[in-house]
């Protein structure tokens, strides 16, 4: 499992955008998001660097 903290993820729209960005590069990944703690967990075969780049491209730089 890969975890990220996304300080700029603050609302339901952000949750959707983050999920979409991650699933675009890892369609089979399981994404869990805890909005109050700004935490994202991803289970799948994609590497951390690819996921982090997808998040950054979507405007959510991991802390």
The domains found in the chain, sorted by start residue, are 2-57 (3.30.70.100)
Q: Is residue 62 within 8 Å of residue 7, measured between CB atoms?
A: no
Secondary structure (DSSP) of 4-27: EE-TT--SHHHHHHHHHHHHHH-T
Q: Going from the first residue of the chain to its last (63 residues), give the mean pLDDT of each consecutive group of 10, the final group possibly shorter.
A: 97 97 96 98 95 97 90
| Whether the Cβ atoms of residue 4 and residue 49 lie closer than 8 Å to each other | no
Regarding beta strands 2-5 and 30-34, do their DSSP bridges make them parallel or antiparallel, or are they unpaired? unpaired
Q: What is the pLDDT of residue 34?
A: 98
> For the whole prediction, is pTM greater than 0.75?
yes
């Amino acid at each position: 499992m890969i975890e990220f903290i996304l300080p700029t993820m603050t609302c339901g729209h952000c949750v959707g955008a983050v999920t979409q960005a991650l699933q675009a590069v890892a369609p089979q990944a399981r994404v869990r998001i805890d909005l109050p703690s700004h935490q994202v967990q991803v289970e799948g075969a994609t590497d951390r660097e690819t996921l982090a780049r997808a998040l950054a491209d979507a405007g959510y730089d991991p802390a």
